[in-house]
Structure 1
């Protein structure tokens, strides 16, 4: 049996970027048997999973199941109308929730999650928080926090779905008030970590060291430490993504290798870890690819999708020069900082002033364009054409980013950081991939180029956008990249690894 130890936010928006969630999906589609163990109570997690087309309670063991306290017949989350509020409490609706007023004074606030249900209700005392009730996705209060005048937590209560107080938490520790079904081994605990350890020991009681494995995301420090402190002999596989690797100290890397096997998603990281221990690092990319070709062959327009975390003004100017020469080329740029959207607009306006002698900002809105002198009218048309071919984005939703990728002719990644999820999407569409970061989805010279400087970017534009044969060859090469990272291939790699380390 494969046990995944998971920890997600209640309203996770980026599960597709989560390595453990992606691997669970791969195992599920490949019919590899597994269990998901969630040591924490995470309300509304099933809603987040359902959004991504996945939730099978038969595979999931949550701490709530262990406590056997939240097996409620209520299955609907709480709504504002369902709250038991006094008749003299007035509701004032706002963008961030509902403000509660009582006798002309602020009495509390109802907050909602992204699904539109009540997530918490705050009650105020003299304008400060006094009490916060947290609601589960089954519609009952599962926790109440009490805060002092400065907003510091003084005490918390945990409840069952029947309103029975199971435990109360103070600075000195946790007291068990109602030992439901005798599941707690102690009457008091120093912290929740002790309860989590107890839960893991019970859940993994049938762990077979000959055949079973525990898989955990190495970026989840609390879970990693939790497993290290559980008094059991476990076979642990750490999923180590490139971003987490870059943030770890050498001592932390050595600890992971000493405690278990490590699966990485790039050859570079595999080589670096091999310096500390050989034979315990395994390369299996996280995100599977599938043939999902784009539509750029159906239009004359050649759109470049470009991700950057820092704006290089000189490179942007040279890119505008290229777009000016190639009137079929357009730019869809996603920046990493909101302020860069405004900076890009300034660069565009500055470029148009310098090259066309035109300032659209200074033009009279009531100006009759058709009455302009012919020569000026021509310049206005060319400048407007260029401006309309430059789109700048920040924080693109996943579906919008994918739509841009599907329509693009070329992808450029100048973020300089691990970007494996997007690289997998791009490889699946068959786009030439130009990047300063080497992922397993980029084969230099085959389906794209690994670059270093701004000059390389312009050369890549010329190579792939001006010669259809070069673009077509990259598309052909992409097919082998897609096959090498398909869900079938990745699941086979996992089966092979699980077999080898169990021998």
Structure 2
């Protein structure tokens, strides 16, 4: 059996990152573990299970959003809380026990329960319209926050005193509190409900907690996880996302077990000596890119184990629609560019836009924070004005005005626009419209690169990568002053652009789904040494 240990945490807490439906998601849910689970489920590579260490009362909805609803999993908090239910339950806030004379007021964002003219509760909903949280009030101050499990019960309740959080309790399906976690981090066990649930080959076992109080939630998780690990076989393999939240815990518990660590983007600093030492105790390290692999090799400390680059994303031929558009869009990521580099790049981009009136620059950001678009446009506008170009080139489009109402400023075309994309769907929709990809960040965005390969979009980067070969599907731009020359090469010569498109599709053939499957089979067979988990058997 292969066990995936994900890093799906909320700001380094042992909690899920479930959001209210009306709050814009500021970061993507898709990571290496999501893509690995999708790959294993759809292609039946070998038996697997997700090993969930975070409190995730809406985990079924998360799996559904990632198209892996049927994925098998074991949750440490289900074991702690003694939860036996597996299926979701349909329930309405109307079914809760409300005081008599409660009146419900429907707002655009939530439902407010009013009692005797005062707000009694605020009911919040998830992305699927299911109630996930009920905040209770008294005299205008919050007193309690009930967090609902999508299987139809209160999973956790937070108690507030004078408007400040005092403690939180984790409950059983019947509403009996099991653990109480205080604001200083220590955890108390209910003496009248002091057992956790472990499923074994012999059936379910209720095991007593070893202590009445624990210094932290991590200590509780370690005890329960250690008990569960004793039910697994020695030849089982654990594929853990490299993340600082659980790395010390796994370093202690998975000693002498077959372990794969998965490195993804900058989730874990490979310059941290302790982190690299913990990774070195695994049997294999899988990186998402050649850049991370090279960084790992340079840092040393992990010489004994196998290291391999297996991208989390596959390439799929999906030609873009840029040739069907009246403008030539230039995709330009800005999140990790230094302010001075962005200002200099804007100067050379503006110079090219003055030559090519059909070109437009899409300033790409994954940061969906409120005000992020205004901040980028302000910085670009200031750079334009400083270099003698119209600052109005960088502004928001005013869709409220009809064409015959446009004033002098509105008649100036918008040449720089911001594209805020968080999830894979919005990113793919944006990339399909681009004529060329220019990334001056180091390293370049991996998902954007793979998307460009699949859509046949030329790339202009600062260095060679596994998805860009100079002279084939892209060019090197080590000096920002060469930006205009590289743009002219592709945007003013359709033959060069077509050649890059064909070469992109050829390069994509080496990073297909089948390629990823073969890579994972090789890793599993190398460290498995067991017919029971041999990939593809």
Fold conserved between structures, TM > 0.5: yes
Change (3 A) 1:99 1:359: closer
2:18 alignment partner in structure 1: 11
2:286 alignment partner in structure 1: 263
Equivalent runs, 1:350-389 vs 2, <5 Å: 350=385, 384=411, 387-389=413-415
Equivalent runs, 1:43-122 vs 2, <5 Å: 43-57=57-71, 59-63=72-76, 66=79, 69-72=82-85, 75-122=88-135
Provide structure 2 residue ranges, at least 5 long, that are not aligned to the other structure: 9-15, 20-24, 198-203, 530-537
Give the whole-Å Cα distance in 1 for the aligned partners of 2:110 and 2:18: 17
User: How many residues get paired?
Assistant: 486
Give the whole-Å Cα distance in 2 for the aligned partners of 1:239 and 1:358: 43
Change (3 A) 1:273 1:391: closer
Deviation at 1:388, TM superposition (A): 4.3
Residues 63-72 or 289-298, more deviating: 63-72
Alpha carbons 2:395, 2:417 under 8 Å: kept: no
1:174 alignment partner in structure 2: 189
- What RMSD over aligned residues (CA atoms) do the two structures have, in Å? 3.7
1:242 alignment partner in structure 2: 265
Q: After TM superposition, where is structure 1 displaced by more than 6 Å over at least 4 residues in a row?
A: 355-361, 365-370
Alpha carbons 1:49, 1:55 under 8 Å: kept: yes
Equivalent runs, 1:274-313 vs 2, <5 Å: 274=297, 275-280=300-305, 281-299=307-325, 301-309=327-335, 310=337, 312-313=342-343
Q: Deviations over 1:101-132 (max 9, x none)?
A: 43344433222222222222222344333222
DSSP-derived class of the 2:517 partner: helix
State which of 211, 214, 226 in structure 1 corresponds to 2:238: 214
Alpha carbons 1:319, 1:458 under 8 Å: kept: yes
State which of 251, 269, 274 in structure 2 corresponds to 1:228: 251
Equivalent runs, 1:308-327 vs 2, <5 Å: 308-309=334-335, 310=337, 312-327=342-357
Change (3 A) 1:125 1:450: farther
Residues 479-488 or 188-197, more deviating: 188-197
Alpha carbons 2:79, 2:224 under 8 Å: kept: yes
1:254 alignment partner in structure 2: 277
Alpha carbons 2:239, 2:260 under 8 Å: kept: yes
State which of 497, 505, 508 in structure 2 corresponds to 1:471: 497
Alpha carbons 2:348, 2:483 under 8 Å: kept: no
Deviation at 1:214, TM superposition (A): 0.5
Residues 335-344 or 303-312, more deviating: 335-344
Give the whole-Å Cα distance in 2 for the aligned partners of 1:357 and 1:108: 47
Alpha carbons 1:197, 1:229 under 8 Å: kept: no
State which of 367, 373, 376 in structure 2 corresponds to 1:338: 373
Alpha carbons 1:167, 1:176 under 8 Å: kept: no
| Residue 161 (str. 1) matches residue 173 (str. 2) | yes
Alpha carbons 1:112, 1:118 under 8 Å: kept: yes
Alpha carbons 1:306, 1:333 under 8 Å: kept: yes
State which of 222, 229, 241 in structure 2 corresponds to 1:204: 229
Which TM-score applies when normalising by structure 1?
0.84
Change (3 A) 1:435 1:345: closer
Tell which structure's C-alpha radius of gyration is larger: 1
Change (3 A) 1:415 1:90: farther
Alpha carbons 1:265, 1:440 under 8 Å: kept: no
DSSP-derived class of the 1:408 partner: coil
Task: Specify which structure has the higher proportion of helix.
Answer: 1
| Residue 42 (str. 1) matches residue 46 (str. 2) | no
Give the whole-Å Cα distance in 2 for the aligned partners of 1:223 and 1:118: 30
Give the whole-Å Cα distance in 1 for the aligned partners of 2:114 and 2:388: 55
Deviation at 1:501, TM superposition (A): 2.5
DSSP-derived class of the 1:244 partner: coil
Q: Which has the higher contact order (CA 8 A, sep 6+)?
A: 2
DSSP-derived class of the 2:295 partner: helix
Alpha carbons 1:17, 1:421 under 8 Å: kept: no
